[in-house]
């Protein structure tokens, strides 16, 4: 009895309607059954098309090399990879080495046939096109991020004490004041451990702020050189921390203590 394998992949960077592989699996199963193949193994996984070492793909490739299947089915060439070299290797193993067809359910070609050398050529051209498409997408995303940053939008994870609204930084006043109060307690001489226990702000976070002049100024003085953060704070009435006597000496002691406690 002929044996076939289905390969399906969804990627975390795809839209929600492509996150479920069930449509890929349904269409591929129908295609194989129409070809008279009922003994079907399924390889389905979630992962980036730029990663050629995905576990499911590598398991399937090994099984094909061992001669376990009479045909393979997938929805698109891009399911294999968005790297031409990875897709081309898989195609060559199936077509050149094992002489088994690859059925395609939803692409510009419907099969890669060992008896039709041009189908292999076209499939590799498609793989190259998908790789270039991915590169173009990455370039557009990077360009969009730069444009958003120029327009004042925050494009990464917001700092503690802030959130975002339509891409613009907005203070979370309650959290900001909580961090400010925690820093003040440390600067007043209370241990970071005690402050972390009572506030829920980790010692690592406190240390990051204390060891970074810009962050420290943000929470102590409500002042910053970042125009986006400054714009977010501009409409809020946040008072600077009342610095304790001997502030500079204490902050140096805090940093020194943190450094000494770091593992080698």
pLDDT in tens, 12-62: 654 444 457 888 999 999 999 999 999 999 999 988 887 888 999 999 999
Question: Do 12 and 94 lie in a common domain?
Answer: yes
Q: Judge whether 91 lies within some domain.
A: yes
Share of the chain above pLDDT 90, in %: 33
Q: Judge whether 230 lies within some domain.
A: yes
pLDDT at 200: 85
Three-state DSSP class for residue 237: coil
| CA-to-CA separations, 49 to 19, 55, 81, 83, 93, in angstroms, rounded | 13, 12, 4, 7, 19
The b-or-e profile of 30-54 (16+ CB within 10 A means b, else e) is: ebbeebebeebeebebebebeebeb
Share of the chain above pLDDT 70, in %: 77
State the average pLDDT over residues 227-244.
Answer: 59
Residue 121 has pLDDT above 80, yes or no: yes
Question: Do 134 and 169 lie in a common domain?
Answer: no
Q: Count structural domains, the chain.
A: 2
State the average pLDDT over residues 215-225.
Answer: 75
Question: Do 17 and 141 lie in a common domain?
Answer: yes
The whole-chain average pLDDT of the chain stands at: 80
pLDDT at 210: 85
Point out the domain boundary residue: 83, 112, 145. Answer: 145
- Structural domain including 75 reads 3-145
Q: Which residues contact 142 (CB under 8 A, 6 or more apart)?
A: none
Binned at pLDDT 50, 70 and 90, residue 79 comes out as: very high
The b-or-e profile of 154-189 (16+ CB within 10 A means b, else e) is: beeebbbbbeeeeeebbbeeeebebbbebbbbbbee
pLDDT at 232: 67
Point out the domain boundary residue: 115, 145, 175. Answer: 145
Strand-pair category, 39-46 with 3-10: parallel
Q: Judge whether 90 lies within some domain.
A: yes
How many CB atoms within 10 Å of residue 247? Answer: 14
């Amino acid at each position: 009895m002929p044996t076939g394998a289905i390969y399906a992949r969804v990627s975390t960077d795809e839209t929600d309607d492509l996150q479920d592989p069930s449509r890929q699996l349904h269409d591929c199963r129908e295609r194989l059954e129409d070809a008279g193949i009922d003994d079907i193994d399924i390889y389905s996984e979630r992962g980036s098309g730029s990663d050629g070492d995905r576990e499911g793909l590598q398991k399937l490739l090994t099984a094909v090399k061992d001669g376990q299947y009479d045909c393979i089915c997938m929805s698109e060439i891009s399911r294999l990879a968005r790297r031409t070299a990875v897709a081309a290797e898989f195609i060559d193993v199936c077509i050149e080495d094992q002489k088994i067809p690859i059925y395609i359910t939803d692409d510009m070609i419907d099969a890669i046939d060992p008896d039709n050398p041009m189908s292999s050529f076209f499939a590799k051209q498609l793989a190259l096109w998908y790789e270039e498409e991915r590169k173009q997408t990455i370039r557009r995303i990077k360009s969009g991020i730069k444009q958003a940053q120029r327009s004042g939008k925050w494009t990464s994870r917001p700092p503690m004490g802030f959130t975002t609204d339509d891409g613009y930084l907005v203070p979370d006043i309650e959290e900001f004041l909580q961090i400010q109060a925690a820093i003040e307690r440390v600067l007043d001489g209370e241990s970071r451990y005690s402050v972390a226990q009572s506030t829920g702000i980790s010692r690592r976070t406190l240390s990051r702020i204390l060891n970074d002049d810009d962050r420290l100024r943000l929470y102590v003085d409500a002042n910053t050189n970042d125009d986006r953060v400054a714009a977010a704070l501009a409409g809020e009435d946040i008072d600077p921390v009342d610095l304790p006597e001997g502030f500079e000496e204490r902050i140096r002691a805090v940093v020194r203590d943190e450094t000494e406690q770091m593992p080698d």
